[in-house]
Amino acid sequence: MENEVFDKDVINLVIARLESMPDSMKLAIGNKGDFDKFQLIDHVKNGDSLGNTVIKMQLLYLRSLKKF
């Protein structure tokens, strides 16, 4: 996936969603490793490739709510 630049509101929305992740839950993202919510939030704030993947995943989920 190419690196995109996301709007600040989108980033803040994703961070707010990630903050609600239970402390005991981790997310494994293939060869990138496995992360708790604090690590995911850091990657989102950094705007790196992993962070952007997490943002895209969250946006895909939010779009699915429109159809639901």
Partner 1 sequence: MNTDTILITRPNHDHVTNYLFYWSKEIIALASKKGFNVLNLDSKKAIRKNLISMIDKKKPALIYINGHGDYDKVCGHDNKILLQVNKKEKKLKTNIIYTLSCNCGKILGEHLVTNGVSAFIGYTEAFMFNYDKNNTCNPLNDDIANKFKESSNIILDSLLKGNNVHEAYDQSQSEFERQISFLRSSDAPLGSEHIIASLIWNKTFQTVIGDKDSRL
Residues of this chain that bind partner 1 (CB under 8 A): 1, 17, 20-22, 24-34, 36, 53, 57-58, 60-61, 64, 68
Most distant CA pair in the chain, distance: 32
Residue 64: is it exposed, middle or buried by C-beta count within 10 angstroms (0-12/13-18/19+)? exposed
Q: How far is the CB of 24 from partner 1 (least distance, A)?
A: 6
Q: How far is the CB of 45 from partner 1 (least distance, A)?
A: 18
Q: How far is the CB of 61 from partner 1 (least distance, A)?
A: 4
56 near 44, Cβ under 8 Å?
Answer: no
